[in-house]
Amino acid sequence: MSMTGRESFGSDNHAGAHPAVVEAVVAANAGDAVAYGADEWTERVTGALREAFGADSAFLVANGSGANILGLSVLLRRHEAVICAESAHINTDESGSAERLLGTKLLTVPAPDGKVSPELIATRLSGRGEDHRAQPGVVAVTQSTELGTCYTLAELRKISAFCRANGLRVYLDGARLANAAASLDCSLAELAECVDVLSFGGTKNGAVGAEALIVMRPGLGADLPYLRKQQTQLMSKMRFVAAQFEALLRDDLWRTNAAHANAMARRLADGAAAVDGVDIAYPVQANAVFARLRPRHIAALQREWFFHVWDERESVVRWMTAFDTAAADVDAFVAAIGSAAAQ
C-alpha cells in the first residue's frame, strides 16, 4: 500500500487490482474478439449481472462518474432536476458534470449522516407545477454513502414508496454497493428492488477499472446503447472490462473483497476510538472511517501516512480501507495515531 514512501489510507482507489482480476484480464487477452461489447465475455457478464440483480438490462461502462451521468440521463426529462444529499458525489466530486453535460439542476438537501429521507425529499417539492422552477424528477441516493453509512433495506423501501407516490424516479450511485451488501448481509437484488436504475462499482473493490449500470425498470434500457455511445462510455475492447466483472462475480469475490475492507475499517475505528483525543464522527458501516482529532496530530500523522482531511474546519479526517488492507497495516496505523496523540 505504499504511496511515495508513505502508507495510504486515502482511498480504496489507491489499492491495486485483485490477482484474480488481473488473471482474468490476461486470459481475455488471447486472440481476437469483436469490439464494442459484441464479445462472449460481455454477453456472459451482462447476463450474470441481470440475474444477480433481477434486472431488466445491464451495461458496462468505464468509470463511476460516467455511470452516474448515464444513469441520470435515462431517467431525466429536459426540464427536470435531481434531489440529492449535499454530500452526494454528483454534487461534490464530479466537477459539475451533471449540470454541464445534462443541463440539470441539483436540488441538494442537508443530510448529516449522508442519507436522504422522505422528509428531506419533501422539502424540495414545493415548487412543483410552477413553470418558474426546475421540476424535481429524480431522487439520487448513494449506497454506501459518502460518509460511510448504509441505508437499511427498510429505509430504501420507504424512500421508494414515497417517490412512487410522488411521481419521482430513483437513481442509486453504487460505487461502493458491494460494501453495503456485505455490511447489511443482503443480496444485490434486495438493494436494487427499490430503485429504477443503479450503478455497481468494481473499481473500488478489486477491479482495474470496471463499472456497471443496472436498469431495473423495464423499457428504460432501450435508449441506453445510444446514450452510452454519445456520452463516450462505450469502450471498444469491452472484453477486458467484462473479464474483470467475471472475476468479481465468480464465487462472489466481490462480497469477499468488500467484507474484508469493511472488517478492516471496523478494526481501525475500534483501535482509533481507544486513543485519547480521537472521536469517530459517523457510524462505521462500510469501509470508511471518519475521525475527529487535533490539527497538530493530523499534521504529524500525514508526515508518514497518506489520508484526506475531510472537513478542515471541524478537524475531521477520512480513512479508507480496501480489499487488500492487512490487519498489520491497520494495527501499525493505530499505533501511529496513538503516538501522534501522545505528543
DSSP for 130-180 reads -TTSPEEEEEEEESS-TTS----HHHHHHHHHHHHHTT-EEEEE-TTHHHH
pLDDT single digits (tens) 236-294 = 999 999 999 999 999 999 999 999 999 999 999 999 999 999 999 999 999 999 999 99
Q: What pLDDT was estimated at residue 150?
A: 98
Average pLDDT value for residue range 15-28: 98
Q: Who contacts 66 (Cβ-Cβ below 8 Å, separation ≥6)?
A: 211, 231, 232, 233
Q: What pLDDT was estimated at residue 156?
A: 98
Return the closest-CA partner of residue 207 out of 8, 17, 42. 17
Per-residue pLDDT band at 98 (split at 50, 70, 90): very high
Return left, alpha or beta for 308; rule: phi > 0 is left, psi -120 to 50 is alpha, else beta.
beta
On the question of a cis peptide bond just before residue 144, with omega within 30 degrees of 0, the verdict is yes
Q: What pLDDT was estimated at residue 6?
A: 46
Per-residue pLDDT band at 1 (split at 50, 70, 90): very low
Q: Please give the torsion angle defined by the CA atoms of residues 200, 201, 205 and 209, in that order, rounded to the nearest 10 degrees.
A: 140
**Portion of the chain with pLDDT greater than 70, in percent:** 98
Q: What pLDDT was estimated at residue 115?
A: 98
Residue 168 CB: number of other CB atoms within 10 A? 23
pLDDT at 202 over 60: yes
Per-residue pLDDT band at 343 (split at 50, 70, 90): confident
Per-residue pLDDT band at 140 (split at 50, 70, 90): very high
Q: What pLDDT was estimated at residue 4?
A: 42
Task: State how far Cα 313 lies from the chain centre.
Answer: 25
Q: What pLDDT was estimated at residue 2?
A: 43
| Bridge partners for 106 per DSSP | 82
Average pLDDT value for residue range 169-198: 98
Give CA–CA dist 14/197, Å, rounded. Answer: 27
- The cell numbers describing 196, all together, are 429504477
What is the helix (H) or strand (E) element at residue 227, kind and residue range? helix 224-230
Burial of 257 per CB tally in 10 Å (0-12, 13-18, 19+): buried
What is the helix (H) or strand (E) element at residue 339, kind and residue range? helix 327-342
- Could you identify the residue written with the cell 496505523? 333
Sheet holding 305-306, edge to edge: 2-3, 6-8, 305-306
On average, the pLDDT of the chain sits at 96
Average pLDDT value for residue range 128-148: 96
Is the model more confident about 127 or about 165? Answer: 165
Per-residue pLDDT band at 3 (split at 50, 70, 90): very low
Per-residue pLDDT band at 75 (split at 50, 70, 90): very high
